[in-house]
Amino acid sequence: MSKSVERVRQAAMTAGLDIEIRQMADSTHTAEDAAIQCGVTVEQIVKSLVFQGAESGKLYLFLVSGPRKLDLAKAAGLVSEPLHRADPKHVRKETGFAIGGVSPLGHLIDIRTYADASLMRFDVVWAAAGGTNFVFPCEPNVLAAAAKAQIADITV
One DSSP character per residue, 111-127 reads: -EEEEEGGGGGSS-EEE
Edge-to-edge strand list for the sheet holding 22-23: 22-23, 134-138, 125-131
Per-residue confidence (pLDDT) for residue 132, from 0 to 100: 85
Per-residue confidence (pLDDT) for residue 42, from 0 to 100: 97
Per-residue confidence (pLDDT) for residue 1, from 0 to 100: 61
Per-residue confidence (pLDDT) for residue 27, from 0 to 100: 82
Q: Are 140 and 21 in contact (CB under 8 A)?
A: no
- Domain with residue 35: its CATH number is 3.90.960.10
Encode the chain (156 residues) as per-residue pLDDT tens digits: 689 999 999 999 999 999 999 999 888 888 999 999 999 999 999 999 999 999 999 999 999 999 999 999 999 999 999 999 999 999 999 999 998 889 999 999 999 999 999 999 999 999 999 988 999 999 999 999 999 999 999 999
d(CA 21, CA 82): 34
Q: Please count the structural domains in the chain.
A: 1
Query: Whole domain around residue 75: which residue ranges?
Result: 3-152
Per-residue confidence (pLDDT) for residue 110, from 0 to 100: 96
